[in-house]
């Protein structure tokens, strides 16, 4: 299984008013991303609002994505604060047809590197799917130290890392300390090209929800040394989009932009706020500027 390229942390289509999963639109959305050329799909992500979904809703999302996506790997979000909770989600994801379990650092309680190693080892020892570690300290309050990654990489079931720390030095050190068959993904799209230069295997890129063709073109252009194309896409697509969302809840902004581009996929779920009229207008103006660039 090839773990590289552009992976989409998918927004979750929901019905306005009820917050239930819009299954038909989820299948259509999945198809549209695959048609856009992405190399992997990541349901149950932060952008997918996984903490706001019930266990049954999370299962439904992964199941529909896996049923629809028979040509690219499915990275299922399996985050929880306890080992048993993660393992339960992995079993559900495996039964639904997912290929990889993405396991975020535990949140709410502070811990140590020894605690994180114990947590991830406890998951990997009993996981029925390969595990990708997920480092996003701004949201969890816990960072997987580079030395801890270097220890965990020795476990045969731990196959990669998504890094959304925003720290390029950390990203460089992880790439230096892990073997070539360990997949390292950048989760901060604005750092995508710099991370590829440092040895990253791909991007888990929120903007690919809206511009899948352009993000996959960015990756392909980098791989084929088309530097002018890479520069143009970073400057005219990635940078303005990331800048427009900078002070907004990312999931809410992505949902609105998907609606502008393709079809309505619902409102953000509580506790996220809905966007104001001025926020929506700003996103739409940026979207049109990107199309016109």
Averaged over 248-264, what is the pLDDT?
97
Q: Give the model's pLDDT for residue 287.
A: 98
Q: Give the model's pLDDT for residue 71.
A: 87
Q: Give the model's pLDDT for residue 82.
A: 97
pLDDT above 90 for 96 = yes
pLDDT band at 293 (very low <50, low <70, confident <90, very high): confident
pLDDT above 90 for 24 = yes
162 assigned to active site: yes
Phi-psi region of 199 (alpha: psi -120 to 50; beta: other; left: phi over 0): left
287 assigned to active site: no
Tell if the pTM clears 0.85, that is, is over it: yes
Q: Give the model's pLDDT for residue 89.
A: 97
Handedness of CA 175, 176, 180, 182 (dihedral sign): negative
**Which residue among the candidates 89, 107, 108, 162 is catalytic per the annotation?**
162
pLDDT above 90 for 70 = no
pLDDT above 90 for 1 = no
CATH code given to domain 5-224: 3.20.20.70
67-71, 197-201, 203-207, 257-261: which has the minimum mean pLDDT? 67-71
Q: Give the model's pLDDT for residue 142.
A: 96
**Which residue among the candidates 89, 107, 108, 134 is catalytic per the annotation?**
134
């Amino acid at each position: 299984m090839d773990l590289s390229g552009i992976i989409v942390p998918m927004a979750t289509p929901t019905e306005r008013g009820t917050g239930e999963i819009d299954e038909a639109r989820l299948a259509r959305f999945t198809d549209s991303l695959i048609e856009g050329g992405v190399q992997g799909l990541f349901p149950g992500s932060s952008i997918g609002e996984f903490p706001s979904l019930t266990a049954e809703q999370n299962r439904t999302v992964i199941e529909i994505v896996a049923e629809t996506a028979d040509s690219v790997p499915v990275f299922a979000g399996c985050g929880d604060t306890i080992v048993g909770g993660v393992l339960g989600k992995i079993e559900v994801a495996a039964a639904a047809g997912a290929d990889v379990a993405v396991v975020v650092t535990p949140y709410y309680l502070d811990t140590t590197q020894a605690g994180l190693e114990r947590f991830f080892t406890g998951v990997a020892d009993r996981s029925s799917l390969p595990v990708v570690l997920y480092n996003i300290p701004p949201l969890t309050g816990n960072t997987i130290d580079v030395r801890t990654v270097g220890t965990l990489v020795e476990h045969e079931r731990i196959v990669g890392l998504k890094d959304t720390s925003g720290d390029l030095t950390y990203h460089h050190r992880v790439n230096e300390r892990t073997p070539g068959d360990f997949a390292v993904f950048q989760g901060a799209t604005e750092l995508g090209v710099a991370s590829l230069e440092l040895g990253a295997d791909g991007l888990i890129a929120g903007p690919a929800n809206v511009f899948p063709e352009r993000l996959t073109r960015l990756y392909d252009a980098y791989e084929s040394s088309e530097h002018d194309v890479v520069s143009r896409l970073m400057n005219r697509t990635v940078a303005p989009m990331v800048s427009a969302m900078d002070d907004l809840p990312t999931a809410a902004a992505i949902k609105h932009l998907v609606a502008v581009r393709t079809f309505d996929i619902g409102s953000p779920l509580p506790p996220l706020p809905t966007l104001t009229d001025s926020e929506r207008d700003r996103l739409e103006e940026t979207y049109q500027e990107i199309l016109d660039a």
